[in-house]
Amino acid sequence: MAAEIHSRPQSSRPVLLSKIEGHQDAVTAALLIPKEDGVITASEDRTIRVWLKRDSGQYWPSIYHTMASPCSAMTYHHDSRRIFVGQDNGAVMEFHVSEDFNKMNFIKTYPAHQNRVSAIIFSVTSEWVVSTGHDKCVSWMCTRSGDVLGRHVFTSWASCLQCPLKGWASACLGSLSQ
């Protein structure tokens, strides 16, 4: 009779590997940088920071950028190194990050909403950025022209966006009633 050995996990609890400190207000988004030991954060203190892990094991900001309005949502596309940041004033701003993650250049501002942006997604294949906000709208914009291509109004504001990987045929919206 054959015996099978099953290993048991040492702990079923998550283990804190690193801690990043520095923002003066709530962090609204934290995204891992693929293929890098880095994190991009956006905060209500109006800053976007790119943190890279140094030889000491500590994360230090390699980019520190202050925005005009608190940051409420963010998405990052690694292959094109584009960051889209939603703000409390309703604007979505696009930036391009350098290959060494030491410089961030402003590309354009999209007039997406009349109020706080709650979620953003980006499709490099269609060159669309889609966002939703507290103004009860979902907006989609062309990143090539900067034009707002359309808007749809809901009865309450959406708190999140999700898009299927194969296309934009249907976007699922998580709605939060007020």
Ordered DSSP codes for 144-161? TT--EEEEEE-SS-EEEE
Q: Are 38 and 83 in contact (CB under 8 A)?
A: no
User: What is the per-residue pLDDT for 5?
Assistant: 58
pLDDT at residue 158 in the model: 84
| CA pair distance 74, 87, nearest whole angstrom | 9
Question: Which stretch of DSSP H or E encloses residue 174?
Answer: strand 172-175
Which residue reads 């109020």 in tokens? 115
- Quote the DSSP letter at residue 7: P
The whole-number mean pLDDT for each consecutive block of 10 residues of the chain, a chain of 178 residues, reads 58 81 92 92 96 91 95 95 97 96 96 94 91 94 92 88 56 38
Which overall architecture, per CATH, does domain 27-175 show? 7 Propeller (2.130)
pLDDT of residue 9: 61
Identify the pLDDT of residue 167: 47
